[in-house]
Amino acid sequence: MIVFGTRPEAIKIAPVISELAKTGSLKPIVTVTAQHREMLDQVLDVFSIRPDYDLNIMRPNQKLSEISTRSISALEKVIQKERPEMVLIQGDTTTAFIGALMAFYNKIPVGHIEAGLRTHDKYNPFPEEINRRLISVLSDLHFAPTKMAYESLAREGIEDKKIYITGNTVIDSLLGIVKTDYEFNHSALNKIDFGKKKIILVTIHRRENWGIPLKTICLALKKLAEKYSNIEIIYPVHPNLKIREVVKTVLKGNPQIHLLPPLNYELFSNLMNRSYLILTDSGGIQEEASFLGKPVLILRKVTERTEIIKVGTAKLLGTEKDRIVHEASKLLTDKDEYSKMAKSTNFYGDGQASKRICEALLYWFKITRERPVNFKVGTNNA
């Protein structure tokens, strides 16, 4: 049984569902909590995923405790009905944690996709850092996307035989979606001159950035638009009211700043590929942008994707206005600074992560005899 509930989970788990179906031996039972309803549905449509169970738990302005309690109640019924031989969860959402917990309560093994990411800061990201630590304790198989993630799990005492380094499945999805000749079928995007303008793509959604941090980020964006006439800022705004109200109050009315509703995954991925620079607090976008060779300014206090910071394709800035303006300005005006960061890396995968996960599952269930080989950076650069 595969359990997920948000847009990022769906993007990263879609290729796993596809690979599972190809095995002929492993039947995926797709169960969504719909922790994010509208944004989840966009991804389900793009990948033609039809859930076997849709728990539809989302409510307006929902609290984490409410997501948890509704998920527990609904998931227990489905798990007890199906009695799957394993529950697969992805990442570090509340849905992922509850999925692992309910599997444990029913003595069903747990497989954790994207295991081992750590900031070692309890409240950053919130609640994801604690979710993924708890999931690691509950899991029987750990699919680590990178060697660094593997090392984090090993330091926590998890047995080597339970960990597989697979790469991240987000690269599998990205390779199937991004096209160099892609044409945008979107009224706002069609009006933008991608040839003459430098496109800054922005995404902000993390709970720890709600309120004052989000406002200072928006003030930085406003300053950049005032400072440079050759840029266009595209900001697909998260539907949460606490985010939308701040963003529209600060940024509405500036002709160089395009506040759009959330874009579907196909549109967004190809927009990312056509952008000059990306400002984000998203974990998945850090991975995708590094693969596409787009410089990333990370608007968070900490990140669990430290590989790209070490190699120099991303910078961790926080949310202070002047620093954001300063670092973005350097990339907009200094070709040498830009070229240092605009390099494609395959730290997070080569397009074969889902296949490796399925091979590990076949080995776990003793359907095959040979343990799959771990992913190594630079060996299969797609």
- Catalytic positions, written as ranges: 92, 114, 128, 205, 207, 238
One-letter amino acid for residue 211 of the chain? G
**How far is Cα 111 from Cα 341, in angstroms, rounded to an integer?**
35
Task: For residue 338, give the nearest of 198, 210, 177 by alpha carbon.
Answer: 198
CA torsion 252→255→256→261, rounded to 10°? 50
Residue 179's alpha-carbon distances to 64, 130, 186, 279, 332, in angstroms, are 37, 37, 16, 22, 25
Angle between helices 212-227 and 321-333 (to 10 degrees): 30
Amino acid at 129: E
The residue type of 92 is: D
Angle at 27 between CA 25 and CA 31, to 5 degrees: 160
Q: Is 170:349 a contact under the CB 8 Å cutoff? A: yes
Q: What is the CA radius of gyration of the chain?
A: 20
Burial (0-12, 13-18, 19+ Cβ within 10 Å), 379:
exposed
Kindly report the number of other CB atoms within 10 A of residue 55's CB atom: 21
